[in-house]
Structures are given as structure tokens and as C-alpha cells.
Amino acid sequence: MPCNSWKVLFLMPPSTSPSLETPEGSLPLQRPGLPRAAWWGAGALFLILAVVFLVRSGKDKGNPQAARGIPVATTAVKKGDMRILLGGLGTVTPVQVVTVRSRVDGQLVRVAFTEGQFVKEGDLLAEIDPRPYQVQLMQAEGQLAKDQAALQNANSDLRRLQALVAQGIISRQQLDTQSTAVAQFEASIKADQSQVESAKLNLTYSRITAPLSGRVGLRLVDAGNMVRASDPNGLAVVAPVQPINVVFTLAGDAVPQVLAKVRAGKHLRVEAWDREQKRMLGEGRLAAVDNQVDPATGTVRLKAVFANEDGALFPNQFVNARLEVDTLRGVVLAPASAIQHSPQGDFVYVAKADGTAEMRPVTLLASEGEQTAIGAGLSPGELLITDGLEKLRPGSKVQVEGDSRGKGPEGKGKGKG
């Protein structure tokens, strides 16, 4: 109300009414109360300003951010090693894949493996009815014995004829004829022996064994079915998983960098990660680089060999492959969350000892995941602001929340060029 009165007093126009003449000898008329109202208005205005000042001061005292500065989180910059990794999509492939087929015709009487079982080379997988081949073996052995007896008789006749020829009783022609007969029986015996061996081989083929060590797939034929050597599908598939290969692709521009390390005799390390790149499935080494870049995709294929002792890698599984081509030693490491970007370049905010934030331009060498290698602009031990960056300006007053001075990037990191 005093404020309104003040406004009324100062906005009121001066009186335009004609001055009243006073009778002679009387006192002149005056506007009563005008100076006193002005003083009252000025006092009321001062009081309002004082109240506003006190209210604002109370708010500032109740606001810790205004008193302490912008709350931020920091990380101490450290020195360490960073690996330079090249990443690409890959597929797990067995070293060998063998389709087990029957080499003889017959009825499948036994399946000796369990689907998904690990088998060793030579383990029995299935058995075909062996009786037909046992009969064939007996026939071949009988024919062999018959021809051996005939050969023995022919040799006896030959010896007798040789004595008679020596005595001049018979002609030389009869001796030659008998010698030819002996040679024919010897040839027949060789043919009989081959039939015996063939029958034995077929009898052996009636027992189907694992051609190599590995995991057996799903059964393709059940016991009781007739199988033939000409069947295209076979009985099962055996694929070794220890060791196992990973075939992956890299950009064609990375080929010179990789080949330079290979020519220098370096054994490049390869990691296989799951689809979400959260769990490493295995470690291996680079085995081969393809001889050409695919013109359709601009990528080159590489093959790595993994021991896969825990069986984490499975044939035809999709993985993320990381090839380690180099390691940066003793570089400054900073969290990637602290790196800011602008048209003028990359920069970070550093918490200074006086409690203010300093904007610092930096040069980046490599980055991977949550770590970045800094080439210039930072020194080990400085406090790098990692949270609360959206409110910062150069010279802003900051307040570090919690004790983050001892925290920082690990000494070893991962990176990619």
C-alpha cells in the first residue's frame, strides 16, 4: 500500500485551479501533507527493496550449488598401455567337416553313437549286417583252396614230365604244355587271393568308424534302414571343434598394416567376442590372409585358429573378431566420456586446484570402448571432468562430488586405430 501511495503522489499532476485570493490580512492557503507523504513513500520503497534483498539472500544461502559451484565427477588421468585392435565380423568354421557314408550296401543294424557326442578317430559309429560279406569271404576262400589244390597237382605232373623228358620218353612239347598249366593255376590263385581280400575289406566296411576326432551331428539314418554306398546324405556329419577356425573380414585399407606385421614374423593375436561384445569367447592367432580384396564389399578375409579348449566356439557361430596389430606403450589414458567435440576440434574440461573448470584442447591417438589415448593436451595426475559437462563453461566454479581423485583408467587398455 505505501508503494501505491507513492505512485499516486508522483503521478498526480500539479493543480491547475486558479489560486484563490485571500482577504487582506489573512494567511495564504497551503497544500497540507504533501512533503510528509513523499517521505513516507520513499521509506516504503526502501523497505520493499530491503525485503527483496533479504529474500534473495536467503535463497542463495539455501542453494548449495550457487554457494559451492556446479557439481561434477572427475577421474585422475593416468599413463598406461593401449592395444590397437582392428575389428570385423566373423564366422566360426571347423578345420574339417566329414560326412560319414557307408562304403558297402546293406541293412543298418546298429547305431553306436549319440547325437552331439564327441568321438575319437576309429570309434565305432554304426554297423551294417555283416552276414552277406561273411558268405562272400567263405566263397572266395573256398575257390582259393580249390585252385591251390589244382596247382599242387599240376606241379606234381610237371616234375614227373621233367623226368620223362630227361629220359627221352616224351617230347619236349608235353613238358611245355604242363608248365603253362602250372602258370595258369598260379594266376588263378592270385585272383582268388584278391577276392578273399576284397571280401575281408567289405566285411571291415560293414563296421563304420569315425574318420577323425570331433563332434557328431544329428543322426541322418535310423537303424533298420537299407543303406547304400551311393546315398548322397550319408549317416552323420563329424566336425572337429578343437582346434577350430574363425574366418572374419577387415577393410581392405587395413591389409598393408596387417601384412607388414606378418612379414616381420609377428604372431598376431585374435580375440573372438559374442554378438553384444560383452564376453570374450576365446583367444587365437592369425593363420592366413586371403590373396584378394572382395570388390563388392571392399573387405579382405582372414583366418584365425583357436584352441577352443572350453568349447565356447561352435561351428557356424557368428562372432566379433578383434585383431591386435600394435600396442601403444606409456600413453596418457582418459575415459571416452570426458572427450567433447566441436567444430574447432576435440577438448576436455579439467578441474583446477582453485575449484574452476578449464577447457583444454586435446589430440586423440586411438580409442576403444571406454578408453581413449591422448597424444597431447593432458598430463598424468590431472583431474578430468567426466560428468556434469553440459553445464560447464570455461572458468565455471565446480564442486567435485565424492572422492574421485584416486579413480582413473586402468594401466592397460584396448584401442583401435
10-residue mean pLDDT series, the chain (417 residues): 41 43 45 59 73 56 57 86 89 93 94 93 95 95 93 89 83 87 92 95 95 93 93 92 94 90 91 92 94 92 94 93 89 87 87 86 83 86 84 83 49 43
Share of the chain above pLDDT 90, in %: 45
Q: Are residues 120 and 217 in the same domain?
A: yes
Whether 122 is in a domain gets the answer: yes
Predicted local confidence at residue 189, as pLDDT? 93
Rounded to whole angstroms, what are the CA distances from 201 to 189, 206, 223, 236, 255? 18, 9, 22, 22, 51
Q: Are residues 343 and 369 in the same domain?
A: yes
Predicted local confidence at residue 29, as pLDDT? 44
The range of the structural domain enclosing residue 47 comes to 1-7+37-62
Whether 351 is in a domain gets the answer: yes
- The CATH number given to whatever domain includes residue 197 is 1.10.287.470
Q: The dihedral of CA 138, 135, 204, 193: what is its sign?
A: positive
Q: Are residues 51 and 119 in the same domain?
A: no
Whether 155 is in a domain gets the answer: yes
Q: Are residues 53 and 168 in the same domain?
A: no
Q: Are residues 342 and 364 in the same domain?
A: yes
Q: Are residues 337 and 384 in the same domain?
A: yes
Predicted local confidence at residue 11, as pLDDT? 40
Q: Are residues 246 and 300 in the same domain?
A: yes
Q: Are residues 411 and 298 in the same domain?
A: no
How far apart (Å, rounded) are the C-alpha atoms in residues 82 and 283?
A: 18
Cβ-based neighbour number of residue 417 at 10 Å: 14
What's the total number of domains in the chain?
5
Cell of 344: 574447432
Q: Are residues 199 and 215 in the same domain?
A: no
Domain end position, chosen among 205, 230, 256? 205
Given the C-alpha cell 534302414, which residue does it identify?
225
**Residues with Cβ within 8 Å of residue 64, at least 6 apart in sequence:** none
Predicted local confidence at residue 388, as pLDDT? 81
3-state secondary structure of 2: helix
Whether 23 is in a domain gets the answer: no
Q: Are residues 107 and 233 in the same domain?
A: yes
pTM of the model: 0.62
Host H or E run for residue 413? strand 412-415
| pLDDT tens-place string over residues 221-272 | 999 999 999 998 899 999 999 999 999 999 998 899 899 999 988 899 999 9
Cell of 45: 520503497
- The CATH number given to whatever domain includes residue 226 is 2.40.50.100
Whether 24 is in a domain gets the answer: no
Predicted local confidence at residue 48, as pLDDT? 77
Domain end position, chosen among 293, 326, 359? 326
Q: Using an 8 Å Cβ cutoff, are 243 and 95 in contact?
A: yes
Strands 78-94 and 412-415: parallel
How far apart (Å, rounded) are the C-alpha atoms in residues 200 and 212?
A: 23
Predicted local confidence at residue 220, as pLDDT? 93
Q: Are residues 298 and 286 in the same domain?
A: yes
